[in-house]
Structure 1
């Protein structure tokens, strides 16, 4: 398959435990897993810390008092997330990124989750991603991931349209006359309009010539960890990683400047900030792909236009995602309200973005 990520030959086999963890009793389940994964650890000295930032999964860190630096993270997948997350693909992404120094170690998988190495550092916020020094680190790290070859020799294809169509089919039932959710009928654009826009986007954006590369696809602020001591950033959470358009990954990240719990699109990066980000990115991408051509203004402007147009697709992608989450997730978050905000932003910015032209 041209959309699949291929794990390098010789990569370690991932251990798998036949354990199911109740998402409402994550700590108890994590302790059961640690007994299998770290049998030498004294159960009486085991410490746990529950993380609360996730909007898809539940996460708990486990360690023993005498070695607080060796933290095992246990992530329990959210209810019905297998509907929109390819778990096999996530494990492959984890392995490929770790093999290239971009991800922590993956220790094991279990029936409804994974255990992996904790990466020290601070998760970023909406102001951090605007910091000039961090901005440059982030753009270089994205370039490094985009330069990774994880395909089997055939030309990789983007999975954006396949995934978006799948999400749309999952939420389409909510738009029927019999659907019980009146709020969707009142606040979300009609099924016909959403499908029309989706077809238009596929036709228009596919023709922009954005390269297909290995993408993170979910680079929100909290998925960027800054290790100040070592002076680098790393990206975490690879559930949506896949081959995709280069410009989608960047445009999606720029949308995330607005945050999530309190969306503020006034924080979307200005043209000047974007051009600084993109210039650093292109120089790094050329270096990682051994492209010796000089970076010119036309190349920079082309990427700027591609990125802002693909940012439209990002609004749609996460709008559909949020509608699915609104139906199934047990996490306390107004997913439906978030979906409405993403679709609204799409229609608000579309006229301005579509006026942008790729230079001749």
Structure 2
């Protein structure tokens, strides 16, 4: 919610109020800590104050994007650069653990508690058919074993980069990310794969809009160039020639492409579990159970294809 008195919204501030039962799936203390980390690294607006069920922060002028925008090369180049900037936030010497597995187990345990049932073909919700809890539990075990072996770097991630969480300021020629509920250290490839899944949209999900390999490689090249350049700046590597700066090999590009598409599976699974929890508790007028059904179906549809990809040695 925006509060302002000037017609041009020059004095606007934003107020965020937490939704019902969202504390089940969001660590609010962690959200605020991560907000401040992002603010310290110029990746977030100013945080003005907090209160028991929300906080107040700086308004960022610009346009919240839609799925049709993030497919445009002039936009996705900016998104790739901003994500690389976030991913370069340091850990201050600590060795962070990915939040993916803790979050996935947490959500799944809530699903098991809220939707107890025997393994059968019956659905968790009317007209929505979800695989049995036993099948889902086995898939989590498989993902943890398989994806952990891909050696994707652990970086500071947004973890929820849907199009509406990207603000495009055309006048200044940049994008900024908002909504930090799910931020935290995670696999680099997960954050990118999760964003690629969002090309399909939210209200009318269409996975034919998932980016083609050609589009992905363009996006990933912009990302890797920015990620490398930012790393050189961190190390004081300004002496490198412009020809060497940010050079990306075909091998590392292909390797990241494989990792991203396999971690996109975990994104489907996590948001499907999230959807089931929201279906139980949220007061928002949205068919969360149907959304969960769509994400589970896409997970099982995509799994055979993407797990056949091989990383370069």
Q: TM-score range by the shorter chain?
A: over 0.9
Structure 1 spans left out of the alignment, 5+ residues: 1-59
Question: What is residue 205 of structure 2 aligned with on the other side?
Answer: 263
Question: What is residue 150 of structure 2 aligned with on the other side?
Answer: 208
Any runs of at least 4 consecutive aligned residues in structure 1 with deviations exceeding 4 A, and if so which? none
Contact residue 175 and residue 184 of structure 1 kept, 8 A: no
Structure 1 counterpart of 2:54, from 113, 116, 134 = 113
In 2, Cα distance between the equivalents of 1:250 and 1:87?
A: 24
TM-score (norm 2): 0.92
Contact residue 174 and residue 181 of structure 1 kept, 8 A: no
In 1, Cα distance between the equivalents of 2:214 and 2:7?
A: 48
Alignment CA distance shift 1:186-1:105 (3 Å): closer
Question: What is residue 170 of structure 1 aligned with on the other side?
Answer: 110
Q: CA deviation at 1:75?
A: 0.8
Q: CA deviation at 1:95?
A: 1.0
- Between Structure 1 and Structure 2, how many residues are aligned? 300
In 2, Cα distance between the equivalents of 1:262 and 1:316?
A: 18
Structure 2 spans left out of the alignment, 5+ residues: 233-243
Q: Which moved more, 1:186-195 or 1:271-280?
A: 186-195
In 2, Cα distance between the equivalents of 1:137 and 1:309?
A: 24
In 2, Cα distance between the equivalents of 1:266 and 1:123?
A: 23
SS of corresponding position for 1:238: coil
Question: What is residue 270 of structure 2 aligned with on the other side?
Answer: 317
Contact residue 84 and residue 226 of structure 2 kept, 8 A: yes
Contact residue 123 and residue 129 of structure 2 kept, 8 A: no
Structure 2 counterpart of 1:127, from 68, 83, 103 = 68
Structure 2 counterpart of 1:347, from 273, 282, 300 = 300
In 1, Cα distance between the equivalents of 2:153 and 2:142?
A: 20
1:176-208 CA distance string (max 9 Å, x none): 239x98526961111000000000000000000
Structure 1 counterpart of 2:6, from 65, 71, 82 = 65
1:213-267 CA distance string (max 9 Å, x none): 0000000000000000100000000000000000000000000000001000010
SS of corresponding position for 2:194: helix
In 2, Cα distance between the equivalents of 1:129 and 1:67?
A: 26
SS of corresponding position for 1:234: strand
Q: Does 1:136 align with 2:69?
A: no
Q: Which moved more, 1:268-277 or 1:70-79?
A: 70-79
Mapping of 1:141-160 within 5 angstroms?
A: 141-149=82-90, 151-160=91-100
Larger Rg: 1
Mapping of 1:245-284 within 5 angstroms?
A: 245-284=187-226
Contact residue 248 and residue 311 of structure 1 kept, 8 A: yes
In 2, Cα distance between the equivalents of 1:68 and 1:194?
A: 47
Q: CA deviation at 1:209?
A: 0.7
Q: CA deviation at 1:88?
A: 1.1
In 1, Cα distance between the equivalents of 2:295 and 2:247?
A: 37
Give the root-mean-square deviation of aligned CA atoms.
1.9
Question: What is residue 238 of structure 2 aligned with on the other side?
Answer: none
In 2, Cα distance between the equivalents of 1:181 and 1:350?
A: 22
Structure 2 counterpart of 1:244, from 186, 198, 213 = 186
